[in-house]
Amino acid sequence: MNRHALLSCRLRINGASHDVEDVHFGDTLLEVLRDRLGLVGTKQGCEDGQCGACTVLIDGQPVNSCLELAAETVGREIVTIEGYNRRDGSLTPLQEALVRQAAIQCGFCIPGIVLAAESLLAERPDATEDDIRTEMDGNLCRCTGYSSILAAILEVAETRRGS
Amino acid sequence: MAPDPRSGGSATGVGASIVRPDAIAKVRGEFEFATDLRAAGMLWGATLRSPHPLARILKVDLTPARRIPGVRAVLGAWDVPVNTFGAVDKDTPVLADDMVRYVGEPVAIVAAQSPALARQAIDAIVVTYEPMRPVTDALEALAAGHVYRHVSMTHGDPDVVGEVQAEGEYLTPRQDHSFLAPDAGLARPDGRDGVEVIGASQWVHADREQIAACLALPEEKVLVVNSGIGGSFGGRVSMTWQVHGALLALHTGRPVKFVYSRHETFLARYHRHPSRIWLRHHANRDGTLVKLEARILLEDGPYSHTAAAGIGNSCSLIQGPYNVPNASIEGWAVATNNGMCGSMRGFGVVEPIFACESNMDRLARTLGIDGAELRRRNLIRSGDTWTFRQVQDRPAPVSELVDLCQAMALPPAPSADRPMSARVALPGGVATPTRPRHVRRGIGLAAAVKNTCFSEGCPVNSTALLTLHNGIATVDCAAAEVGQGFVAVAIQVVQSTLGVNEVRVAACDTGMPPAASTDAQQQTITSGPAIHLAAARLKERFLQFFGREHGLDAATLDIRDDFVVSRQGGRLASVAEAGMGLVFRATERFDQRTTRPVDDPHATEPVHVALSFSANRCVLDVDVELGLVRVVQMDVVQDAGRVANPALALGQVTGGSLMGLGFALSESLEYRDGRPVNGNWRDYRLPRMADAPVVNCRFVERPVPGIPFGFNGIGEMPHVQAPAAILSALRDATGLDLPAAPATAGRIALTGSDAVPMRLSDSALEAFKGPGRARIGKFLRFQRVER
């Protein structure tokens, strides 16, 4: 393949179709989301799959969008923080819990944390503290020491179990 | 007090845990960080960096890059009007001219239509280097006389000898700030021959001064604006892309955006200076400290940056929170070519506290006394004199901190039959091979002291403008919000002082009067009082106005919960109505007390504006076969002054403790032959959620005299104390000396490599004492800011 070959992709993002022209086959989903589509809620932290700041959901699974080639995601359902947010501006129970537990300092890790945690809670409604520690190991936070983030996710898990 | 971890509720003002005003935007991903900035017609910047730790530049050919279609500007050193800048001394080239002195030093910059084109242009530039032998060892730098600052001080009788002595040498790592948001920002022409630089800075006014000087523009032609800042931890006090961006914007007439990759963020930025510290404690047999001898070697980079302040902090606080009647202390900040070093959370103090506490453990073992008891016997008290001739004229409740810390509940003992499903709770974390029978528990206690505010003669002040219009107050204060929560504290101070609950905080830029840098845990204690003074003045003016309008004596009036009230508390009018649509304003400045250099033998001012104290007990499990560690619990008791927002303060303690845990166990940016070997998050090991211990916290609130509300610094202390407590617990569990941080699995398991050869001891030091002050960068003077 010509290393400068450009593609056109139709991506399904947040329930809508986006035609993106002139995508290089090596462009990551993160680059396309942020630089081409202006969906900057997905954060660039390390471009190395280490920090989870760029987490998006692809077919419901959390994925580091810095490691995913945009061209590979054609035909799959992508959800970013913009698509996860409630349209009316109100917060989801997980977002409310993060605010209540003072889990937001600089906030750069938070969009990735929200999506990773929501997918964990969907998959493991019975998640214990040890489960959350294990499953959230791919999302770095440098500000909080994690205890407030852990408390928020646990609070949502327990509320859901109780109801 | 044990802080409630939750924010929210109806309480307002100082002492309430209000929700920070940016929380909703941040949790929805709508908060704009520097990385997210965009502008119409925007170009992308990129930087060519040195591959050599030390080399002469023979030739730079930019022409191939200029020929690429879509490349709008390619600039070298000769395009920079004034090619030096620096946080303190102006000794750092904007772009390298004749020499490169570290791997990652910027050599040329480009602006192009896309990030890929910009990178392509960088690759096309041809630079011919003549590599030279770099200085990569701090001891070699000392021997060669590459010294930025040499501090030498004595206290009491330096010739006294104690009945018992404990001697050791300790090493600490080059820690990276690793804030989540990489360096980024946008520069654009302002249309009036000036430039706007929008990015992430701890101190916009210091940036403006340097940018304007480099561009040879008057400061009025440069506006520095803070966008959202994704963490800082002391890492955004000196500039990286800012002058480059401004130059490219002025050359192209277009906005230019920079976003560094993580690897580039590692290369381009400074890190915590590695240290080597030799100590000898002298004590009587009953454990009373008699004398401290200390030698401190801090490795700084090829340019001075904040080297002088770092070694000053280290030399002054090497004594820890203890009363030491006699001392002989020497310190050097030296230059190597191992990349840039500079300030980071607990600047210059994490290292000496680690060394002091480690040697106190050694002294306790030598004396056969319990470590906590040894500490308790020597804690500094109000009225004692520090080794740097400053009387502790403010509260020093250290014994109370130690007692409270020891009284906190211990976690249950580790269980040998813990289910294997709970691996995450074992040493080694998620995929650990640990066998529960190899796990041993250790408990360690440490006490610490940290200065609050810039010390040693650096002026510390903030100015705040407060506006009241239609019942809404707006704060203009150029204090950088880096994530710590000053925006919430600013609101709470206005609520308490002015009595108005609807408060907005304007974004920070150099159009405002200057405020203190978000550094040295000094923002709440400095800008908080400035806002308080402005709010008090505004309230006075407002009530005088209301009194005149209504024929009432202003002295009988007050404002509470958005209403003007009478002396009896009856509501007379809402503030919104009472203001009659007019705009009320007040501007006030708050100055911290003046300080002097630590080694100035004549001046009588204090060295530090204020000091804060803490005690920390660490409980951990270690697999003695594999060297894997799981910190189970940290019990932190901190002297915090008056706590403005308990939930946010607790966040500083939990976050700082974990950053200290990284320093203690895993974080070290390694250089080999002057080249970084692990400048990425795959190989530079940051603590993750699985590593996070339970952090129990108590604040002891002793208001600092002379400070409105009695605020003190909080944010650095948890990081300062954690490494000492963790290593103390590790020594308790393993019986090893562990003189070096990070105590990696290898260092713990391979006990034979435990010892650090002493290089700064009496006999060894002579080999490294250099001829004088030859230098790689320029010799540093103290910062005396004229403003």
Give pLDDT tens digits for B241-273.
999 999 999 999 999 999 999 999 999 999 999
Where do the DSSP E strands lie in B315-361?
Answer: 326-335, 341-342
Q: How far is A74 from chain B (nearest CA, A)?
A: 22
Secondary structure element (H or E) that encloses residue B247, with its range: helix B242-252
Q: Are A64 and A49 in contact (CB under 8 A)?
A: yes
pLDDT of residue B599: 87
b/e string for B739-752 if b means 16 or more Cβ within 10 A? bbbbbbbebbbeee
Interchain CB contact of B229 with A (< 8 Å): yes
Judged by DSSP in three states, A100 sits in helix
Q: What's the ipTM?
A: 0.98
Q: How far is A40 from chain B (nearest CA, A)?
A: 6
A44, A104, A138: residue with CB nearest B26: A104
Q: Are B280 and B293 in contact (CB under 8 A)?
A: yes
Name residue, tokens 């393993």: B734
Q: How far is B201 from chain A (nearest CA, A)?
A: 13
Q: Are B514 and B205 in contact (CB under 8 A)?
A: yes
Q: Across the interface, do B17 and A134 touch by the CB < 8 Å criterion?
A: no
Q: List the helix and strand counts (H, then E) for chain B.
A: 18, 32
Q: How far is B485 from chain A (nearest CA, A)?
A: 7
Q: Across the interface, do B28 and A144 touch by the CB < 8 Å criterion?
A: no
Q: Order of strands across the sheet with B99-100?
A: B99-100, B55-61, B126-131
pLDDT of residue B787: 29
- Among B10, B26, B486, most A C-beta atoms within 10 A, so best to mutate, is B26
Tell me what percent of chain B is helix, strand and coil, each rounded to the nearest 5.
30, 25, 45
Name residue, tokens 């009194």: B547
Q: Across the interface, do B180 and A48 touch by the CB < 8 Å criterion?
A: no
Interatomic CA distance for residues B196 and B183, integer angstroms: 17
Q: What are B154's strand-pairing partners?
A: B328
For B24, the closest chain A residue by CA position comes to A99
Give the residue-averaged pLDDT of A3-31.
Answer: 92
Q: Across the interface, do B233 and A110 touch by the CB < 8 Å criterion?
A: no
**How many CB atoms within 10 Å of residue B544?**
14
Judge whether residue B740 has pLDDT over 60.
yes
Residue B778: pLDDT band by 50, 70, 90 thresholds?
very low
Q: Across the interface, do A100 and B7 touch by the CB < 8 Å criterion?
A: yes
Give the residue-averaged pLDDT of A99-103.
Answer: 98
- Among A88, A104, A109, most B C-beta atoms within 10 A, so best to mutate, is A104
Instruction: Read off the tokens for B157.
Output: 């009788």
Interatomic CA distance for residues B649 and B523, integer angstroms: 13
Instruction: Read off the tokens for B111.
Output: 């602006």
Q: Across the interface, do B22 and A107 touch by the CB < 8 Å criterion?
A: yes
Taken in order of first residue, the domains within chain A and their CATH numbers are 6-84 (3.10.20.30), 93-162 (1.10.150.120)
Q: Count of alpha carbons within 13 Å of B736, Cβ hemisphere only? A: 26
Residue A44: its chain B contacts at CB < 8 A? 35, 182, 259
Give pLDDT tens digits for A105-152.
999 999 999 999 999 999 998 899 999 999 999 999 999 999 999 999
DSSP B535-569: HHHHHHHHHHHHHHHHT--GGG-EEETTEEE-TT-
Q: Across the interface, do B692 and A147 touch by the CB < 8 Å criterion?
A: yes
Give pLDDT tens digits for B758-777.
889 887 887 776 544 433 33
- How buried is B520 (Cβ within 10 angstroms: 0-12 exposed, 13-18 middle, 19+ buried)? buried
Report the candidate in B171, B454, B456 with the shortest Cα–Cα distance to residue B298.
B171
For B426, the closest chain A residue by CA position comes to A130
Q: What are B448's strand-pairing partners?
A: B614
Provide the number of CB pairs (under 8 Å) joining chain A to chain B. 192
**Start and end residues for every CATH 3.90.1170.50 domain found in chain B:** 34-133+182-229+236-268
**Start and end residues for every CATH 3.30.365.10 domain found in chain B:** 23-31+461-591, 355-452+605-754
For B183, the closest chain A residue by CA position comes to A45
Mean pLDDT rounded to a whole number for chain B: 94
Judged by DSSP in three states, B638 sits in strand
Q: Are A50 and B682 in contact (CB under 8 A)?
A: yes
Q: Across the interface, do A102 and B233 touch by the CB < 8 Å criterion?
A: no
- Among B226, B688, B717, most A C-beta atoms within 10 A, so best to mutate, is B688
pLDDT of residue B600: 86
Q: Assess if CATH 3.30.365.10 describes domain B23-31+461-591.
A: yes
Name residue, tokens 């005088």: B544
Name residue, tokens 């503290």: A129
Least confident of A15-19, B302-306, B618-622, B749-753: B749-753
Where do the DSSP E strands lie in B20-62?
Answer: 43-49, 55-61
For domain B34-133+182-229+236-268, give the fold. Answer: Aldehyde Oxidoreductase; domain 3 (3.90.1170)
CATH architecture of B355-452+605-754: 2-Layer Sandwich (3.30)
Per the model's pLDDT, the better-predicted residue between B662 and B757 turns out to be B662
Residue B310: pLDDT band by 50, 70, 90 thresholds?
very high
In this prediction, what percent of chain B has a pLDDT beyond 90? Answer: 89
Interchain CB contact of B117 with A (< 8 Å): no
Give pLDDT tens digits for B327-379.
999 999 999 999 999 999 999 999 999 999 999 999 999 999 999 999 999 99
Judge whether residue B476 has pLDDT over 60.
yes
Q: Are B710 and B529 in contact (CB under 8 A)?
A: no
Interchain CB contact of B483 with A (< 8 Å): yes
Q: Across the interface, do A108 and B485 touch by the CB < 8 Å criterion?
A: no
Q: Across the interface, do A151 and B5 touch by the CB < 8 Å criterion?
A: yes
Residue B682: its chain A contacts at CB < 8 A? 48, 50
Interatomic CA distance for residues B27 and B388, integer angstroms: 46
Q: How far is A91 from chain B (nearest CA, A)?
A: 8
Residue A130: its chain B contacts at CB < 8 A? 421-422, 424-425
